[in-house]
Structures are given as structure tokens and as C-alpha cells.
Amino acid sequence: MIKVPRIIAVMLGILLNHTPLQGAETVHYGYYSQHAADRIQGQMTDGSRTPRYSIWKTPDGREVITTAVYDTPDMQEVKRTYRWDDVMYVGPVTTWVRNVQ
């Protein structure tokens, strides 16, 4: 079995409109990159479009925009592994709401 880094698994689930995190009260950590939002949208092989960003709920019920969700609030780790250098910490998130294309 191939072990996939958690961020890839989370983002792949979002891109495929299937998120095992939906409805879960587990806290994850949202991040946003304007560069990612500007460049990530593209054509997938099935003709659908990849989302520019995703909307997640925070523990207090607010909706926030994210381009990535990690299992860590450690910004140094995120900067080391995330493609976009303008990444900013959004805060804790619990529930995926929708993708925006």
C-alpha cells in the first residue's frame, strides 16, 4: 500500500468532490494562497474543472476560504511542503462546505 501525505489525500478528496472530512468535528488547519487560487483552476480529464478554492467552517461556525487544509498548524512545515510561497494561515477548520470554481 502506498502511503500518501495527508495534504495530498485531503486536496485530492476535495478535487474529486468527495471529502471524508465532511461532517467531521476533527480540527484541521486551513491555509490560503492567492497564487494558488489564481493558477490552480484547470481542466481535469473528465471535463470538469478543478476548484480555485474551498469553503470550510471554523469551530465557531464562520465560513472561510482555503486553498489547502493540513493536519498541522505548523507554518514552517506547511511552507516546506506547499507549492505556493505566499501561503497564509487561515485558522482551524472543521467542516468542508463547498468548492468554488
The pLDDT of residue 18 is above 50: no
**Would you give the DSSP letter of residue 71?**
S
Q: Where are the domains of the chain?
A: 6-100
CA distance 28 to 19: 13
Question: Which residue in 65, 80, 81, 100 sits closest to 91, CA to CA?
Answer: 65
- pLDDT, tens digit, for every residue of 60-96? 999 999 999 999 999 999 999 988 999 999 999 999 9
pLDDT band at 6 (very low <50, low <70, confident <90, very high): low
- pLDDT, tens digit, for every residue of 27-65? 999 999 998 888 766 655 666 667 788 999 999 999 999
CA distance 92 to 60: 10
